Structure 1
Amino acid sequence: MQTVDLFVKQKQAARYKKGYPLVHREDVLNADVHQNEGSIFHLRDKRHQFLAKGYIGIQNKGIGWVLSDKQNEKIDFGFFKQKIEQACRKREKLYNDPNTTAFRVFNGEGDGIGGLTIDYFSGYYLINWYSEGIYSFKERVILALDALGEYKAIYQKKRFDTNGKYIDDDDFVKGERSEFPIIIKENGMNYAVYLNDGAMVGIFLDQREVRRVIRDKYAKGKNVLNTFSYTGAFSIAAAVGGALKTTSVDLAKRSKGKTIEQFSVNGIDFEQQDIIVMDVFDYFNYARRKDLKFDLVILDPPSFARSKKHTFRAAKDYPALIKDTVAITEKNGIIVASTNNATFGMKRFRQFVDKAFKEMNTRYDILEAYTLPEDFKISPHYPEGNYLKVLIIQVTG
């Protein structure tokens, strides 16, 4: 395939030379030159000096990813094999941990190939492709996984189309098709996972350490509310940790059956828990009317959510969400506030919390802060990749 030259505006040339991995359309002088997804490009400054080498992959973040600072490095099977083997060696401790059998094996630009992630689920690999460009290297990536040794099967998620959405396709790639769910372990807890059922699998692996700390430090003897609960993963951690009761609230109808399943695979009587299908914002109003209070409230909303009556944008509406939560949290209660919005950092997130508490005339302490776990490796040149921000807050008065 022919190599394309992309010329970077002089102001932006320095950051690419330092290792910034994502090529933004607005940084490139000839961004509209005809190029095929998956084409290899040489990034050059206005004086035609070589800066970096990468591939064209159109996604909402940019038009391609840098792969190498060496002009003559071949982007062949050997390149992919080396990157994936290096990534797996860094996760050796997780591969050998019998209490955790699901984790991220390859984390995009953090492991040297933006637009590609690979997760491991108890013997199964799940590849996430984020552009047609990276998908064009599919054969090389699969051969690299083959070279690692035995696995049960490979599944995939194509997270791209003309609208940047998930492509609902056959997710099976090779190996032996599984009967789902498969039961994975995370810090000794069980979770039911589906690799063949749409865009989501049933658990967000990046919250592993947060679930552990909820179980080990904050749940015992507590009345727990888990909002935007999805399949109830945080509720499981709280229940295993000795919560008096958990209440899981999510608008999606299928969340109830999924949450019941997660309790069941842990041997927990789901009928002793509350699992409610309702708009979270309506539930806040309901809880205030009924004067319900919780000792521990978990907030992990999507970056953007819309229901019939409410629209939530994390970058704008998180302070209001905190205020709603404070109103139904007991004094000395705990709020676990989380966001995966990559458009702002931890400093601004802390400001959201401070703004909300000041407007509520309520005091608080931040007890702990979490970002991505070690298997979600990030590039030091790409801080936006460290998207997860979690604050554990105590309401003090």
Structure 2
Amino acid sequence: MDKTVKIKQSFEKKYRQGYPLLTEEALVSSGKLHEEGELLQVVTEDGDFIGYGYHGRQNKGVGWILTHREHEAIDQRLFDRKLIEAVGRRSAFFLDETTTAFRVFNGEGDGIGGVTIDNYAGYYVIQWYSRGVYQFKDYIVHALQTYTDCIGIYEKKRFAKKGEYVEDNDFVSGEEAPSPLIVKENGVNLAVYLNDGAMTGIFLDQREVRKMLMDHLAADRSVLNTFSYTGAFSVFAAMGGASGTTSVDVANRSLEKTSEQFRVNHLPVESQKIIVDDVFVYYKRATKREEEYDVVVVDPPSFARTKKTTFSAAKDYAKLLKETIALTRTGGTIVASTNHAGLSRKKFRSFIDQAFDEAGHTYRIVEQFRLPEDFVTLEEFPEGNYLKVYVIEKLKAKEA
């Protein structure tokens, strides 16, 4: 029998309108919740039905509502229905031979908070964000095997302390993928690894930004890619005709991984600069050398700590952007990005204003991006639309 939890009257309207995340502050008594994975019946303080869900701790939440249908059970049929609907929404992606890596299921946006599924050229990677949702593994794997043409299935368990990755063998079923697996994104090759730690080698949510860089921004321009990870932005810039690319990341493996991304696209690695360094330290050296770039990509993690620097996007982005402005030519472009869900679009814009004001330059927003269409989000859950990207043109210095 499902455990019953009550929503406080002050939160009732929000949940009736479709808000899916159960939070401690919204529940009359969250102390009743003990074992993750237990099924919940969610009702008002007066006992009126709102929905059925499960208990799973993820960030600020203690669970998710999965259905508002009073006569729908949380069983295999529910997960089958949700996956079939999600696959149907992405029919155009399955038919696009130029892009073979995309999101198939985006958590609460597709009706099951706490889990995402990505397709990498027929291999599917499930990411579990709580021990609670992991209890439904058999349902979701069965649905994937039944209603998709998956070659193999992998998983990433992201529910260790503070949402960290659980070190494990990630292969689940089917055929194992080659290492690397070569996927396509808008015609560009990308090398990914499905069983090599928490991340695969690319962030699929930046697909439209990379295309913009390749198609409209990079030609005959020098490009600095900071927090470059495996260098995907640099590769797209080079494919778009950049005069040169510089990739900077603190991780030692970024050199090998970025070089590989250039090689799988038959681009000469020796003509690219790939630098293993703390971005903040590199900025100081580059400023002293009076380096300037036509395009700078700034896509830091929400939080990072190196030997010399601690960075929080919510606190330090304006300072980072000010230092970026110093390395950007007047008339040049900054691609400023954050995936920090807790940093609102309004606050992020205020950081841009602050940085340019302190740097003494005017600017113009050329374009902005949110999550691409395969990352389906709910209007009732705005924090799920976490990606914020501004393409900014650095204009002339302010008059004294």
TM-score over 0.5 (shorter chain): yes
Corresponding position: 1:257 with 2:259 = no
Letter in 1 for 2:217: Y
Displaced runs of 4 or more, over 6 A: none
The answer as to whether partners of 1:227 and 1:250 remain within 8 angstroms in 2 is yes
How far apart are 1:34 and its partner, in Å? 4.3
Which residue of structure 2 aligns with residue 371 of structure 1?
A: 370
Which residue of structure 1 aligns with residue 235 of structure 2?
A: 236
The answer as to whether partners of 1:4 and 1:35 remain within 8 angstroms in 2 is no
How far apart are 1:163 and its partner, in Å? 4.1
How far apart are 1:344 and its partner, in Å? 2.3
The answer as to whether partners of 2:121 and 2:183 remain within 8 angstroms in 1 is yes
Which residue of structure 1 aligns with residue 271 of structure 2?
A: 272
The answer as to whether partners of 2:226 and 2:279 remain within 8 angstroms in 1 is yes
| Equivalent-residue separation in structure 2 for 1:196 and 1:157 (angstroms) | 9
Which residue of structure 2 aligns with residue 322 of structure 1?
A: 321
Which residue of structure 1 aligns with residue 44 of structure 2?
A: 45
Corresponding position: 1:26 with 2:25 = yes
Which residue of structure 2 aligns with residue 176 of structure 1?
A: 175
| Equivalent-residue separation in structure 1 for 2:235 and 2:311 (angstroms) | 26
The answer as to whether partners of 2:59 and 2:162 remain within 8 angstroms in 1 is no
- State the secondary structure of the residue aligned to 1:396: strand
- State the secondary structure of the residue aligned to 2:163: coil
| Equivalent-residue separation in structure 2 for 1:194 and 1:330 (angstroms) | 36
| Equivalent-residue separation in structure 2 for 1:215 and 1:34 (angstroms) | 49
Which residue of structure 1 aligns with residue 340 of structure 2?
A: 341
Which residue of structure 2 aligns with residue 308 of structure 1?
A: 307
Which residue of structure 1 aligns with residue 223 of structure 2?
A: 224
How far apart are 1:62 and its partner, in Å? 0.6
| Equivalent-residue separation in structure 1 for 2:354 and 2:148 (angstroms) | 51
Which residue of structure 2 aligns with residue 291 of structure 1?
A: 290
| Equivalent-residue separation in structure 2 for 1:29 and 1:162 (angstroms) | 26
Which residue of structure 2 aligns with residue 164 of structure 1?
A: 163
| Equivalent-residue separation in structure 2 for 1:350 and 1:150 (angstroms) | 42
Which residue of structure 1 aligns with residue 109 of structure 2?
A: 110
Letter in 2 for 1:197: D
Which residue of structure 2 aligns with residue 145 of structure 1?
A: 144
The answer as to whether partners of 1:101 and 1:120 remain within 8 angstroms in 2 is yes
How far apart are 1:149 and its partner, in Å? 3.8
Identity %: 51
Letter in 1 for 2:356: F
Count residues with an aligned counterpart.
396
- State the secondary structure of the residue aligned to 1:32: helix
Letter in 2 for 1:182: L
What is the TM-score of this pair, normalised by structure 1? 0.98
Which residue of structure 1 aligns with residue 389 of structure 2?
A: 390
Letter in 2 for 1:360: A
- State the secondary structure of the residue aligned to 2:30: coil
User: What whole-Å deviation, never above 9, does each CA across 1:69-107 have from its counterpart, x for those lacking one?
Assistant: 122211111110111011001111010001000000000
- State the secondary structure of the residue aligned to 1:235: helix
The answer as to whether partners of 2:33 and 2:55 remain within 8 angstroms in 1 is no
| Equivalent-residue separation in structure 1 for 2:393 and 2:58 (angstroms) | 39
Corresponding position: 1:77 with 2:76 = yes
The answer as to whether partners of 1:155 and 1:172 remain within 8 angstroms in 2 is yes
How far apart are 1:158 and its partner, in Å? 0.6
Letter in 2 for 1:321: L
| Equivalent-residue separation in structure 2 for 1:147 and 1:278 (angstroms) | 46
- State the secondary structure of the residue aligned to 1:262: helix
Letter in 1 for 2:325: V
The answer as to whether partners of 1:16 and 1:52 remain within 8 angstroms in 2 is no
How far apart are 1:178 and its partner, in Å? 2.1
Q: How does 1:89-108 map to 2 (within 5 A)?
A: 89-108=88-107
Specify every segment of 5 or more residues in structure 1 that has no aligned partner in the other structure, as ranges: none
| Equivalent-residue separation in structure 2 for 1:395 and 1:212 (angstroms) | 21
How far apart are 1:162 and its partner, in Å? 4.1
How far apart are 1:346 and its partner, in Å? 1.7
How far apart are 1:38 and its partner, in Å? 1.5
| Equivalent-residue separation in structure 2 for 1:23 and 1:375 (angstroms) | 24
Letter in 1 for 2:340: N
Which residue of structure 1 aligns with residue 120 of structure 2?
A: 121
How far apart are 1:349 and its partner, in Å? 1.3
| Equivalent-residue separation in structure 1 for 2:40 and 2:124 (angstroms) | 29
Letter in 2 for 1:345: S
User: What whole-Å deviation, never above 9, does each CA across 1:336-363 have from its counterpart, x for those lacking one?
Assistant: 0000010122222111101111111101
User: What whole-Å deviation, never above 9, does each CA across 1:265-296 have from its counterpart, x for those lacking one?
Assistant: 01011110000000000111011111110000
How far apart are 1:47 and its partner, in Å? 1.5
User: What whole-Å deviation, never above 9, does each CA across 1:33-79 have from its counterpart, x for those lacking one?
Assistant: 14322111111222222222111111223110011112221111111
Specify every segment of 5 or more residues in structure 2 that has no aligned partner in the other structure, as ranges: none
Structure 1 stretch 222-231 or stretch 58-67: which is displaced more?
A: 58-67
Which residue of structure 1 aligns with residue 10 of structure 2?
A: 11
| Equivalent-residue separation in structure 2 for 1:111 and 1:164 (angstroms) | 21
